[in-house]
């Protein structure tokens, strides 16, 4: 079975790069790879960094601070950061608490449902190192090996201002093309 | 009905199943119950002694005695007594009769005691893990000889 599949993909690859005289064929990923080397990527990143919609997915007590951050008092809207209820509309996932062994498959599924480009911010001591639950039998340790985390915001829980600072740091990373969400 | 009367009534009705019945104070009493008679005792408590509120079901692992105890806290809305019932089970094969048919809210308590201690509640309507994932079943995390605690896999601890 595996061999047959391999053959099929290889033949389709051959047809896609088949040369037609006088016509230059290309693919979407080739265009994207080319754009990454030009100044146009700066413009794209400017748009991306100013519209970072995050997924409302609170997982612990830090989730309450996360919701407070999204509300009117701290007003993330001025940075273009808006809470979204669906992973399909979100750009940023906030891991805002301890990840238990039972919750990890659901979190992975949410992450897979988010369209690329997408980023992760780890919020609070629990998601960074386990927090008070660091030697528990049911929490998953070392989340950064599972998700490409750009920014860690320590605190137990961090203030909403600290979370906003984390978003600003992520914006700086995207502006400098050093984020883990895109391969440059 | 005060606490001494309650214990007298209980030991008089079940002289073999109830042992070491002790009055701790005016509002607290405790007793050991035989593991085969726990359902009948609970039924009697609920029907005749107005113990209509099951507070909690939990387990205790006594590894030196090679025993596991199931602890029931049963209270009442009509009188101020909280009764603690304990049943002793062998550590190798802990099995006890479920009391879901008497106290409906023991359903989830028994499921959690099952996933954490491995105590099998016979005739439970839906005995599956409550909070732990299915693949952790059989590890029994709150037993004293559990190897997975403390978990030392966290890398970036200060």
Q: What is the pLDDT of residues A109-119, one digit of tens each?
A: 999 999 988 99
Closest of B150, B153, B44 to residue B103, by C-alpha: B44
- Provide the pLDDT confidence category of residue A28 given band limits of 50, 70 and 90: confident
Contact assignment for B148 to A137 by CB distance below 8 Å: yes
Look at the domain B3-136 and name its fold: Beta Polymerase; domain 2 (3.30.460)
Average pLDDT over residues A73-96: 91
Contact assignment for A135 to B141 by CB distance below 8 Å: no
In a domain, A164, yes or no: yes
Interface of B with A in 105-134 (CB under 8 A): 131-133
Structural domain of A57: 51-175
Contact assignment for B139 to A137 by CB distance below 8 Å: yes
Which of chain B's residues have a Cβ under 8 Å away from the Cβ of A101? 132-133, 136
Q: Which residues pair with B58 in a beta bridge?
A: B71
Closest of A150, A91, A148 to residue A115, by C-alpha: A91
In a domain, A184, yes or no: no
Output the pLDDT for position A5: 47
Average pLDDT over residues A93-118: 92
Measured CA to CA, the distance from residue A30 to residue A21 in angstroms comes to 20
Of A101, A138, A142, the CB nearest to B155: A142
Where residue A118 sits, what CATH number does that domain have? 3.40.50.12280
Residues (pLDDT < 50) of chain B are: none
Cα A10–chain centre separation: 31
**To probe the interface with A, which of B151, B155, B157 has the most A CB atoms within 10 Å?**
B151
Parse chain B into domains and list their residue ranges.
3-136
Mean of all residue pLDDT scores within chain A: 85
Q: Which residues pair with A105 in a beta bridge?
A: none
Report the domain count for chain A.
Answer: 1
A95 touches A123 (CB < 8 A):
yes
Of B131, B133, B151, the CB nearest to A141: B151
User: Torsions phi, psi of A14, nearest 5?
Assistant: -65, -45
Whether the CB of B58 is below 8 Å from some CB of chain A: the reply is: no
Average pLDDT over residues A149-166: 92
Measured CA to CA, the distance from residue B69 to residue A177 in angstroms comes to 60
In a domain, A32, yes or no: no
Distance from CA of A52 to the nearest CA of B (A): 28
In a domain, A44, yes or no: no
Task: Give B55-88 pLDDT, tens digit per residue.
Answer: 999 999 999 999 999 999 999 999 899 999 999 9
Please list, in sequence order, all residues whose beta carbon lies within 8 angstroms of the beta carbon of residue A100, skipping any fewer than 6 positions away: A138, A139, A140, B133
In a domain, A15, yes or no: no
Output the pLDDT for position A3: 47
Measured CA to CA, the distance from residue B72 to residue B79 in angstroms comes to 18
Chain A residues contacting B via beta carbons under 8 Å: 100-102, 128-130, 134-139, 141-142, 144
Whether the CB of B139 is below 8 Å from some CB of chain A: the reply is: yes
Kind and range of the H or E run holding B68:
strand B67-75
Measured CA to CA, the distance from residue B83 to residue B18 in angstroms comes to 12
- Provide the pLDDT confidence category of residue A9 given band limits of 50, 70 and 90: very low
SS3 for chain A, per residue? CHHHHHHHHHHHHHHHCCCECCECCCCHHHHHHHHHCCCHHHHHHHHHHCCCCEECCCCCHHHHHHHHHHCCCCCHHHHCCCEECCHHHCCEEEECCCCECCCHHHHHHHHHHCCCCCEEEEEHHHHHHCHHHCCCCCECCCHHHCCCEEEEECCCCCCHHHHHHHHHHHHHHHHCCCCCCCCC
């Amino acid at each position: 079975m595996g061999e047959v599949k391999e053959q099929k993909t290889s033949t389709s690859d051959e047809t896609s790069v088949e040369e037609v005289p006088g016509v230059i064929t290309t693919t979407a990923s080739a265009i994207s790879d080319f754009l990454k080397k030009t100044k146009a990527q700066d413009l794209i990143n400017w748009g991306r960094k100013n519209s970072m919609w995050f997924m409302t997915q609170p997982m612990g007590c830090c989730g309450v601070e996360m919701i407070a951050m999204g509300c009117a008092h701290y007003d993330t809207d001025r940075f273009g950061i808006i809470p979204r209820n669906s992973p399909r509309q979100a750009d940023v996932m906030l891991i805002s608490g301890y990840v238990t062994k039972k919750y990890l498959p659901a979190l992975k599924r949410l992450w897979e449902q988010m369209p690329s480009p997408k980023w992760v911010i780890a919020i609070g001591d629990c998601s960074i190192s386990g927090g008070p639950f660091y030697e528990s039998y049911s929490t998953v340790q070392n989340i950064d090996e599972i998700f490409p985390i750009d920014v860690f915001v320590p605190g137990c829980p961090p203030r909403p201002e600290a979370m906003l600072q984390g978003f600003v740091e992520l914006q700086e990373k995207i502006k400098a093309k050093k984020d883990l969400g895109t391969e440059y | 009905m005060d606490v001494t009367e309650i214990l007298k009534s209980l030991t008089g009705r079940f002289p073999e199943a109830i042992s070491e019945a002790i009055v701790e104070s005016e509002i607290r009493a405790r007793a050991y119950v035989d593991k085969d008679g726990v359902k009948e005792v609970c039924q009697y408590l609920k029907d005749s002694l107005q113990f209509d509120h099951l507070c909690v079901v939990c387990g205790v692992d006594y590894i030196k005695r090679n025993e596991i105890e199931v602890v029931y806290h049963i209270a009442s809305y009509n009188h101020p007594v909280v009764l603690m019932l304990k049943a002793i089970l062998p550590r190798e094969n802990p099995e006890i009769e479920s009391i879901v048919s008497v106290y409906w809210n023991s359903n989830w308590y028994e499921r959690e005691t099952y996933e954490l201690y491995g105590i099998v509640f016979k005739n439970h309507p839906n005995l599956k893990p409550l909070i732990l994932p299915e693949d952790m079943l059989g590890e029994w995390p709150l037993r004293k000889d559990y190897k997975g605690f403390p978990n030392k896999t966290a890398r970036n601890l200060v």
